[in-house]
Chains A and B, each alone.
Chain A
Amino acid sequence: MKFSLSWLKQYLETEATVEEIAAKLNAVGIEVEGIEDPTEKLAGFRVARVLTAARHPDADKLQVLTVDTGEGDPLQVVCGAPNARAGLVGVLGLPGATVPANGLVLRKSAIRGVESNGMMCSTRELELGEDHDGIIELPEDAPVGTAFAEYHGADPVIEVAITPNRPDCMGLYGIARDLAAAGLGTLQPIEQLDLPGTFPCPVEVRTDDPEGCPAFYGRVVKGVKNGASPQWLQERLKAAGQRPISALVDATNYMMLAYGRPAHAYDLAKLNGAVVARRAKDGETVLALNEKEYTLDSDMTVIADDAGVHDIAGIMGGEHSGCGDDTTDILLEIAYFDPERIAKTGRKLNLTSDARSRFERGIDPAFLDTGLDHLTQLIQTLCGGEASEVVRAGAAPATPKVVHFDPALTEKLGGVRVDLEEQKRILAALGFSVVTEEAGFDKAWAVTVPGWRPDIDGAPDLVEEVVRIHGLDRVESVALPRAEGVAPPTATPVQKLERRVRRAAAARGLHEAVTWSFLPEAEAEAFAEGNGGLWTLSNPISEDMKVMRPSLLPGLLSAAKRNLDRGASSLRLFELGRRYLRGGGGASDERLSLALVLAGDKVARGWVTGKAQPFDAYDAKAEALALLAEAGAPVDKLQVMPVLSEAEGGEAGSQFHPGQSATLRLGPKNVLARFGMLHPRLAQQFDVEGPVALAEIYLDAIPGKKGATTFARSSYSPPALQAVTRDYAFLVPVDLAAGELVRVVRGADKANIVAARLFDDFRGQGVPEGQKSLALEVTLQPLEKSYRDEDLKAIADKVTAAAAKLGAVLRG
Chain B
Amino acid sequence: MDYAATGQEALSRIEGASDLETVEALRVEFLGKQGSISGLLKTLGKLTPDERKVEGPKIHGLRESVTAALAARKQALEDAALEARLAAETIDLSLPAPEMPQGSVHPVSQVMDELAEIFADMGFAVATGPEIEDDWHNFTALNMPESHPARAMHDTFYFPDRDAKDREMVLRTHTSPVQIRTMLSDSAPLRIIAPGRVYRSDSDATHTPMFHQIEALVIDRDIHLGHLKWTLETFLRAFFERDDVVLRLRPSYFPFTEPSVEVDVGYANEGGRRVVGGSGDAPGHAWMEVLGSGMVNRRVIEAGGLDPDEWQGFAFGIGVDRLAMLKYGMDDLRAFFDGDVRWLSHYGFSALDVPTLSGGVGTPA
Asked if B24 lies at the interface with its beta carbon under 8 angstroms from chain A, I say no
Contact of A478 among B199, B224, B259, B352 (CB under 8 A): B224
Taken residue by residue from 487 to 517, chain A's Cβ proximity to chain B (1 for < 8 Å, 0 otherwise) reads as 1011110110001001111111111111111
Q: Are A512 and B259 in contact (CB under 8 A)?
A: no
Give chain B interface residues in 42-57, CB to chain A under 8 Å.
none
B98 contacts A495, C-beta separation under 8 Å:
no
Q: Give the secondary structure class of B's interface.
A: mixed
Chain A interface: which of B1-9, B76-84, B145-153?
B145-153
Candidate in A480, A548, A586 with the most chain B CB atoms within 10 angstroms: A480
Residue of A339, A360, A415, A489 contacting most chain B CB atoms (<10 Å): A415
Give the segment of B14-22, B31-39, B66-74, B163-171 that binds chain A: B163-171
Name the residue on B nearest A504 (C-beta).
B351
Question: Among the listed A511, A559, A562, A577, which residue makes an inter-chain contact with B104, where contact means beta carbons less than 8 Å apart?
Answer: A511
Contact string, B138-160, partner A, CB cutoff 8 A, digits 1/0?
Answer: 00000000010110110001111
Across the two chains, which residue of chain A brings its CB closest to B164? A585
Question: How many chain A residues have a CB neighbour from B under 8 Å?
Answer: 100
- The residue of chain B having its C-beta at the shortest distance from the C-beta of A498 within the complex is B109
> In the complex, which residues of chain B have a beta carbon less than 8 angstroms from the beta carbon of A29?
250-253
Bound complex: CA of A26 vs CA of B225, how far in Å? Answer: 18
A479-B250 contact in complex given A464-B260, A536-B160, C-beta closer than 8 Å: no
The verdict on B75 contacting chain A, using a C-beta distance below 8 Å, is no
Q: Which residues of B contact A587 (CB under 8 A)?
A: 130, 132, 134, 163-164
Within 8 A of A (CB), among B341-362: 341-342, 344-345, 348-352, 354
Chain B residues with Cβ below 8 Å from A473 are: 248-249
Q: Which of B199-234 contact A (CB under 8 A)?
A: 199, 201-203, 209-210, 218, 222-231, 233-234
Q: Nearest chain B CB to A742's CB is how many angstroms away?
A: 29
Known A-B contacts A460-B259, A588-B130; A507 and B121 likewise in contact (beta carbons under 8 Å): no
Min Cβ gap A785→B in Å is: 44
CB within 8 Å for A467 and B225 given contacts A513-B106, A580-B132, A586-B163: yes
Report how far A425 CA is from B294 CA in the complex, Å: 24
Distance in angstroms from A426 CB to nearest chain B CB is: 13
Contact of B29 with A by CB under 8 A: no
Assess whether A453 is interfacial by the CB under 8 Å rule: no
- B contact residues around A504 at 8 Å (CB): 351
- Select B233's contact among A360, A477, A538, beta carbons within 8 Å: A477
A512: which of B109, B169, B191 is its contact (CB, 8 Å)? B109
Report A-chain residues with C-beta under 8 Å of the C-beta of B159. Answer: 535-538
Judge whether A472 and B123 touch: CB under 8 Å.
Answer: no
- B297 within 8 A of partner (CB): yes
Interface window among A37-45, A340-348, A659-667: A340-348
Interchain CB contact under 8 A, B222 and A412: yes
CA distance A480 to B217 in the complex (A): 12
Q: A509 contacts B101, CB within 8 Å?
A: yes
Query: Which of A26, A461, A513 lies in contact with B339, CB distance below 8 A?
Result: A513
Within 8 A of A (CB), among B94-139: 95-96, 98-106, 108-109, 113, 116, 119-126, 128, 130-132, 134
The contact of B123 among A487, A578, A590, by CB within 8 Å, is A487
Instruction: Known A464-B260, A587-B134; judge A573-B158 contact (CB<8 A).
Output: no
Among the stretches A160-168, A305-313, A721-729, A773-781, the one at the interface with B is: A160-168
A570 an interface residue at 8 Å Cβ cutoff? yes
Write the nearest CB–CB distance from A622 to chain B, whole angstroms: 13
| A517 neighbours in B (Cβ, 8 Å) | 131, 171, 197, 199, 210
Q: Shortest distance in angstroms between A389's beta carbon and chain B's nearest beta carbon?
A: 36
Write the chain B residue with the least CB distance to A466: B259
Question: A415 and B227: CB pair below 8 A?
Answer: yes
Specify which of B104, B224, B227, B228 lies most central, judged by the most chain A CB atoms within 10 Å of its CB.
B224
B230 touches A479 (CB 8 A): yes
A568 at the interface (CB under 8 A from B): yes
Q: State which residues 333-379 of A face B: CB under 8 Å.
A: 339-340, 343-344, 347, 360-361
A478 and B122 CA atoms in complex are apart in Å by 13
B234: A residues at CB distance < 8 A: 479
A residues within 8 A CB of B169?
A: 535, 586, 588
Please give, as numbers and ranges, the residues of chain B lying within 8 Å of A509 by CB-CB distance.
100-103
- Write out the residue numbers on chain B whose beta carbons fall within 8 Å of the beta carbon of A559: 338-340
Known: A467-B259, A509-B101, A587-B130. A537 touches B157 (CB 8 A): yes
Q: How far does the alpha carbon of A506 sit from the alpha carbon of B147 in the complex, in Å?
A: 47
Number of A-B residue pairs, CB cutoff 8 Å, is 271
Smallest Cβ-Cβ distance to A609: which chain B residue: B98
The reply to whether A415 and B224 form a contact with Cβ atoms under 8 Å apart is yes
Contact indicator A539/B201 (Cβ below 8 Å)? yes
A361→B149 contact, CB < 8 A: yes
Q: Is the Cβ of B152 less than 8 Å from the Cβ of A468?
A: no
Chain A nearest CB, measured from B315 CB (Å): 13
Inter-chain contacts of B125 with A (CB < 8 A): 490, 492
B161-191 vs A, CB cutoff 8 Å, 1 = contact: the mask equals: 1111100010100000000000000000001
A472-B261 in contact (CB<8A): yes
B312–A31 contact, CB under 8 A?
no
- Judge whether A467 and B251 touch: CB under 8 Å: yes
Contact check, A512 vs B120: say whether CB atoms are below 8 A apart: no
Distance to closest chain A CB from B224 (angstroms): 4
Chain A residues, CB < 8 A from B345:
511
CA distance A344 to B223 in the complex (A): 38
A604 CB to closest chain B CB (Å) equals 8
Interface residues of B in 309-365 (CB under 8 A from A): 312, 336-342, 344-345, 348-352, 354
- Provided the pairs A360-B149, A487-B123, A563-B339 are in contact, do residues A458 and B298 lie with their beta carbons within 8 angstroms? yes
Say yes or no for A28: interface residue by CB 8 A criterion. Answer: yes
Q: Complex: how many Å from CA A475 to CA B232?
A: 13
Instruction: Given the known inter-chain contacts A464-B260, A607-B96, please indicate yes or no for A508 contacting B103, CB distance below 8 A.
Output: yes
Which single residue of chain B is at the shortest CB-CB distance from A590?
B130
Residues B209 and A562 in contact, CB atoms below 8 Å apart: no
From residue B334, how far is it (CB to closest CB) to chain A in Å? 11
A480 touches B123 (CB 8 A): yes
A495 to B192, CA, bound (A): 14
Given A460-B298, A478-B230, A538-B158, A468:B224 Cβ within 8 A:
no
Given the known A-B contacts A344-B147, A590-B131, A608-B98, are A413 and B123 also in contact in the complex, defined by CB atoms under 8 Å? no
**CA of A640 to CA of B196, assembled, Å:** 34
Closest to B203 in A: A541
Check A468 against B227 for contact (C-beta < 8 Å).
no
Residue from B126, B224, B262, B349 within 8 A of A31 (CB atoms):
B262
Which one, A491, A506, A536, A588, contacts B120 given CB within 8 A? A491
* 1/0 contact string of A435-468 vs chain B (CB within 8 Å): 0000000000000000000010010110110011
> Distance in Å from the Cβ of A629 to the closest Cβ of chain B?
16
Q: A545 an interface residue at 8 Å Cβ cutoff?
A: yes
Contact flags A581-598 to B (C-beta < 8 A → 1, else 0):
000011110100000000
Which residues on B sit within 8 Å (CB–CB) of A455?
253
Contacts A477-B233, A478-B227, A517-B199: A506 and B351 contacting too (C-beta < 8 A)? yes
Complex partner residue of B348 from A166, A512, A515, A606, CB under 8 angstroms: A512
Contact B149 A343 (CB under 8 A): yes
Can you spell out 15 A-B residue pairs with CB atoms less than 8 angstroms apart?
A343-B149, A412-B224, A412-B312, A413-B259, A455-B253, A472-B250, A476-B229, A483-B123, A490-B125, A505-B103, A541-B202, A541-B203, A566-B340, A586-B161, A586-B164
Which of A's residues lie within 8 Å of B, judged by CB?
26-29, 31, 163-166, 339-340, 343-344, 347, 360-361, 411-416, 455, 458, 460-461, 463-464, 467-468, 472-473, 475-480, 482-483, 487, 489-492, 494-495, 499, 502-518, 535-541, 545, 548, 555-556, 558-560, 562-563, 566, 568, 570-573, 576-578, 580, 585-588, 590, 604, 606-608
Q: Closest 7 CB pairs between A and B?
A: A559-B339, A509-B101, A29-B251, A586-B163, A415-B226, A464-B259, A163-B253
* Seed contacts A31-B252, A495-B116, A508-B103; 11 additional CB < 8 Å A-B pairs: A26-B248, A29-B253, A472-B251, A482-B122, A517-B171, A548-B132, A558-B339, A570-B101, A580-B131, A588-B131, A590-B130
